[in-house]
Amino acid sequence: MAARPYQSETSRNLRITLMLCAGLILSPGCRSGTDPLHVNSAPVSSVPSKKVASKVRPLTDRKFRRTPVRLARGRYLVNGIGECFACHGPIDLKAPGWPPVRGKEGSGFDMGSAGGVAPNLTPDRETGAGAWTDDMLARAIREGVTHDGRLLDPTIMPYEFYRLMSDEDMASIIVYLRSLPPIRNALPKMTRKNIVTPYAIPIYGPIPQPDISTPVKRGAYLVQLGACQWCHTLRDENRHSLPGLEFAGGDLVANEFSQASSANLTPDPSGISYYDETQFLKTMHLGKVGARKISPQMPWWYFGHMTDGDLRAIFAYLRTLKPVHHRVDNTEPVTYCRICKRKHHGGALN
Same domain for 231 and 170: no
Looking at the fold, whether 175 and 231 belong to one and the same domain comes out as: no
Q: Are residues 220 and 301 in the same domain?
A: yes
153-163 tens-digit pLDDT: 888 888 999 99
pLDDT (tens digit per residue) in 100-109: 999 999 999 9
Q: Is 89 in the same domain as 160?
A: yes
What b-and-e string marks burial along 213-229, b requiring 16 or more CB atoms within 10 Å of the CB?
eebeebbbbbbbbbbbb
Grade residue 28 by pLDDT with cuts at 50, 70 and 90. very low
What mean pLDDT comes out for the span 61-90? 95
Q: pLDDT, tens digit, for every residue of 230-244?
A: 889 999 988 899 999
In a shared domain, residues 249 and 332: yes
pLDDT value at position 35? Answer: 38
Q: What is the mean pLDDT of residues 297-309?
A: 89
Other C-beta atoms closer than 10 Å to the C-beta of 206 total: 8
3-state helix, strand, coil in the chain (%, to 5): 25, 10, 65
Q: Are 64 and 70 in contact (CB under 8 A)?
A: yes
pLDDT in tens, 46-65: 333 444 445 799 999 999 99
Judgement on whether residues 254 and 345 belong to the same structural domain of the protein: yes
**Are residue 262 and residue 325 in the same domain, yes or no?**
yes
CA pair distance 32, 153, nearest whole angstrom: 8
Same domain, yes or no: 301 and 232: yes
Rounded Cα distance between 191 and 241, Å, is: 26
Q: How many domains does the chain have?
A: 2
Residue 313 forms part of a structural domain: yes
DSSP one-letter code for 214 = S
Do 60 and 173 belong together in one domain?
Answer: yes
222 and 304 inside one domain: yes
Going by pLDDT thresholds of 50, 70 and 90, the confidence category of residue 326 is: very high
Whether 191 maps to a domain, the answer reads no
Same domain for 153 and 230, yes or no, is: no
Q: Is residue 75's pLDDT more than 90?
A: yes
DSSP per-residue codes, 20-62: -TTS------S--SSSTTBTTSPPPPSSPPS-TGGG-PPP---
Predicted TM-score (pTM) of this structure: 0.85
Check residue 43 and give its pLDDT.
40
Local structure of 156: helix, strand or coil: coil
* Residue 226: inside a domain: yes
For residue 319, give its domain range: 215-349
User: What sign does the dihedral 273-328-41-5 (CA atoms) show?
Assistant: positive
39 within a domain of the structure (yes/no): no
Spatial distance between the Cα atoms of 135 and 113, rounded to a whole number of angstroms: 31
Tell me: do 256 and 343 sit in the same domain.
yes
Complete DSSP assignment for 297-315: TS-HHHHTTS-HHHHHHHH
How far apart CA 260 and CA 18 sit, in angstroms, is: 9
Does residue 328 fall inside a structural domain? Answer: yes
| Amino acid 98: pLDDT | 86
Mean pLDDT of 220-235: 92
Q: Is residue 235 part of a domain?
A: yes
